[in-house]
Amino acid sequence: MNSTSSWIEPPPAQRGLGCFAKGCLILVVFFILLALAFVAGTYYAAKYLRTEYFSIHHERVPISQATVEEEQAARTRWDAFEKAARQRLRHDRRQHRALAVEHADRQSALVKRALPQCTMLGPIRIKWQTR
């Protein structure tokens, strides 16, 4: 046998980038391409929306010349709407509170039935509090 072939030779020195550097480089390139795609998509979406939904020609909106009676009628309708909305809100709150109390009573009955009675401490009392 040859004296040089009997020894284990070390691997040759690596040239270039290693696996970690190649992976980082791929990630950097990916994020750059992702950012470019985001910028280009935003640009084209804004361009499309501007041409599709905004008019090139500006039109003047006629100025409303409402009389005092029309303004008062609109104000009374608005006040009636607000009053009805407040009443509906109060009714919904009352109804919600009543349902919460009913649910708490049912839960309390279930807990009383489910908890064992301890003879040393006396009966266990549960009280649900609702506002």
pLDDT of the residue at 61: 82
- Distance, in Å, from the CA atom of 71 to the CA atom of 65, rounded to the nearest integer, reads 10
pLDDT of the residue at 85: 92
- Distance, in Å, from the CA atom of 8 to the CA atom of 59, rounded to the nearest integer, reads 87
Tallying the residues shown for the chain, one arrives at 131
pLDDT category at 123 given cuts 50, 70, 90 is: low
| The model scores a pTM over 0.75 | no
The answer to whether residues 86 and 121 belong to one domain is: yes
Dihedral sign (CA 84, 90, 94, 99): positive
Containing domain of residue 24, as a range?
20-54
pLDDT of the residue at 86: 92
Reduced to 3 states, what is the DSSP secondary structure of residue 118? strand
Mean pLDDT of 63-69: 87
Mean pLDDT of 48-59: 85
Q: Count of domains in the chain?
A: 2
Q: Is the separation of the CB atoms in 101 and 130 below 8 Å? A: yes
The answer to whether residues 122 and 79 belong to one domain is: yes
The answer to whether residues 83 and 47 belong to one domain is: no
Q: Please indicate, yes or no, if residue 108 is contained in any of the structural domains.
A: yes
pLDDT in tens, 76-106: 999 999 999 999 999 998 888 888 888 888 8
The answer to whether residues 126 and 75 belong to one domain is: yes
The answer to whether residues 89 and 128 belong to one domain is: yes
- Within 10 A of 104 (CB to CB), how many other CB atoms are there? 14
More confident residue, 91 or 61: 91
The answer to whether residues 87 and 113 belong to one domain is: yes
pLDDT in tens, 13-38: 777 777 888 899 999 999 999 999 99
The answer to whether residues 50 and 94 belong to one domain is: no
